[in-house]
């Protein structure tokens, strides 16, 4: 058993040892948080379902049914089904052979687990699923499925590595590994699966990127705008494999150049709401710049005081889709702030539009990955 496999096995054993028995014998299962809710959750299946409790062998309940409404009540998870209520510390819903679970208008592979949340009076709805099956529902959400297969394969390895690193490095107390949103990777279950992205996942099955025998933090972004950046420069945290690289392939991206204008009145309101009581804005200066052109801080001089805000935080404050990157120039004129920049996203790790361009120029997914992640190895999970 490899070190990875051993660690993952131990982790699953400690946190939810039963779950791994229900799904598959794969090296890694992942727990994806679908919902944290105080209201009831309707869980259905196109075939029957079997419910289990969390307590172990003796607690298994085998009740085939098609629909159950789950509630959280007096610190227990309750489901009312076939005229009877079951109350347990947690419940697992597994579809009968050939069926899928349906929740919140989406179909899911694997099983659904409902357990009390860390938030009082709420419960989690978690999809526990094999890592490979999870990726099928991620890839087309993170990259257009119409892109070149080698770009899709590069994304598949990056997405697998990202998820696997989370599984390994989450706190053992954590009740789930990833969110289903862009806070982790967007996951849409079976509804998001596409033929091309499924092919990319299958053709890279089990492959992850490692540095010194550990899975890397495989960050990626839409468009670097000419060069990616050192993570150390932008985030102040050093990752030896996340280095500045020149990118010659993302020019066709619609985000290669962008501009955004914001009224100073509006910016003053935003700053005020965030607790920066600086008065009227008089001057804006950019402080510090990476080799690739990303700005470190924005210095804003107001009638009351001057503040320095990291350009990352500033970007989030004005909207990360308005101000697409921290690689920009700023002009203050007639009570308006004009921002002109390059790229979309944080600029660390793989540039997706660059990967697309490289694929179209004949590069293989392994070459694409080695371009954007330095000194890494591409290795099999098992």
Give the span between the Cα atoms of 233 and 328, in whole angstroms: 16
How many angstroms separate the Cα of 142 from the Cα of each of 89, 158, 181?
35, 11, 10
Establish if 250 lies at the interface with Zn ion (CB under 5 A): yes
Whole-number Å distance between alpha carbons of 207 and 215: 10
Q: How far from the centroid of its chain's Cα atoms is residue 260's Cα?
A: 26
CB of 183 to Zn ion, least distance (A): 24
Q: Is 354 in the site for Zn ion (CB under 5 A)?
A: yes
Residues 332-341 as b or e (16 or more Cβ within 10 Å = b) = beeeebebeb
Of 200 and 227, which has the nearer Cβ to Zn ion?
227
Q: Decide: 139 and 87 in contact? Cβ < 8 Å.
A: no
Q: Which stretch binds Zn ion (CB under 5 A): 159-167, 203-211, 230-238, 343-351?
A: 343-351
Q: What string marks each residue from 296 to 335 as x (binds Zn ion by CB under 5 A) or -?
A: ----------------------------------------
Provide CB contacts within 8 A for 151, sequence distance 6+: 143, 352, 355, 356, 358, 359, 365, 368
Q: Say which DSSP state 137 is in.
A: T
Q: How far is the CB of 312 from Zn ion (least distance, A)?
A: 19
Interface with Zn ion: number of residues (CB under 5 A): 5
Shortest spacing between CB 376 and Zn ion, in angstroms: 18
Give whichever of 28 and 158 is closer to Zn ion, judged by the CB atom: 158
Percent helix / strand / coil, the chain, rounded to 5: 30, 35, 40
CB nearer to Zn ion: give 218 or 351. 351
Q: 133 or 230, CB closer to Zn ion?
A: 230
Stretch that binds Zn ion, among 97-105, 127-135, 188-196, 349-357 (CB under 5 A): 349-357
Q: State the minimum distance, in angstroms, from the CB of residue 111 to Zn ion.
A: 39
Burial class, 347, CB count within 10 angstroms (exposed 0-12 / middle 13-18 / buried 19+): buried
Q: How far is the CB of 105 from Zn ion (least distance, A)?
A: 35
Q: How far is the CB of 330 from Zn ion (least distance, A)?
A: 22
User: Contact region for Zn ion (CB under 5 A) — 6-14, 178-186, 352-360, 374-382?
Assistant: 352-360
Applying CB under 5 A, does 247 fall inside the site for Zn ion? yes
- By CB under 5 A, which span of 165-173, 270-278, 347-355, 363-371 interacts with Zn ion? 347-355
> What does the alpha-carbon distance between residue 176 and residue 31 come to, in Å, rounded to a whole number?
5
Applying CB under 5 A, among 271, 295, 351, 358 the residue interacting with Zn ion is 351
Cα–Cα dist 112/71, whole Å: 14
Q: Tokens 């990319």, residue?
A: 200
Residues 6 or more apart whose Cβ sits within 8 Å of residue 281: 264, 267, 268, 271, 300, 301, 302, 332
Minimum CB distance to Zn ion, residue 353 (Å): 6
Stretch that binds Zn ion, among 159-167, 187-195, 245-253, 306-314 (CB under 5 A): 245-253
Segment 170-229, which members bind Zn ion (CB under 5 A)? Answer: 224
Tell how many helices (H) and how many strands (E) occur in the chain: 10, 22
Shortest Å, Cβ 305 to Zn ion: 38
Decide: is 368 part of the binding site for Zn ion (CB under 5 A).
no
Q: Token pair 């592979």 is at which residue?
A: 109
Which residues in this chain contact Zn ion in the complex, by CB under 5 A? 224, 247, 250, 351, 354
């Amino acid at each position: 058993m490899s070190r990875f496999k051993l660690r993952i096995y131990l982790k699953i054993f400690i946190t939810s040892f039963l779950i791994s028995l229900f799904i598959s014998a794969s090296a890694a299962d992942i727990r994806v948080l679908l919902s944290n809710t105080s209201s009831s959750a309707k869980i259905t299946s196109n075939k029957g379902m079997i419910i289990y409790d969390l307590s172990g062998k003796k607690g298994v309940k085998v009740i085939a049914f098609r629909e159950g409404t789950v509630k959280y009540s007096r610190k227990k998870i309750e489901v009312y089904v076939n005229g009877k209520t079951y109350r347990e510390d947690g419940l697992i819903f597994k579809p009968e052979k050939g069926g899928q679970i349906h929740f919140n208008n989406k179909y899911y592979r694997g099983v659904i687990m409902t357990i009390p949340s860390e938030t009082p009076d709420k419960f989690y709805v978690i999809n526990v699923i094999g890592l490979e099956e999870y990726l099928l529902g991620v890839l087309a959400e993170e990259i257009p499925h119409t892109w070149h297969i080698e770009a899709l394969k590069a994304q598949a390895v990056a997405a697998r590595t990202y998820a696997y690193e989370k599984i390994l490095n989450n706190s053992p107390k954590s009740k789930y590994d990833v969110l289903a949103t862009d806070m982790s990777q967007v996951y849409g279950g079976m509804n998001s699966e596409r033929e091309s992205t499924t092919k990319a996942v299958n053709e890279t099955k089990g492959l992850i990127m490692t540095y010194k025998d550990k899975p890397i933090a495989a960050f990626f972004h839409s468009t670097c705008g000419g060069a990616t950046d050192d993570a150390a420069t932008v985030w102040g945290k050093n990752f030896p494999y996340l280095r500045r690289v020149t990118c010659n392939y993302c020019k066709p991206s619609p985000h290669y150049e962008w501009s955004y204008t914001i009224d100073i009145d509006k910016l003053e309101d935003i700053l005020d709401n965030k607790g920066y009581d600086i008065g009227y804005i008089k001057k804006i200066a950019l402080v510090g710049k990476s080799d690739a052109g990303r700005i470190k801080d924005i210095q804003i001089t107001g009638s009351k005081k001057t503040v320095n805000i990291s350009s990352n935080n500033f970007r989030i404050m004005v909207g990360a889709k308005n101000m697409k990157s921290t690689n920009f120039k700023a002009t203050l004129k007639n009570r308006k702030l004009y921002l002109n920049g390059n790229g979309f996203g944080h600029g660390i790790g793989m540039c997706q539009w660059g990967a697309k361009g490289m694929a179209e120029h004949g590069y293989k997914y392994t070459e694409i990955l080695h371009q954007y992640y330095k000194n890494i190895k591409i290795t099999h999970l098992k």
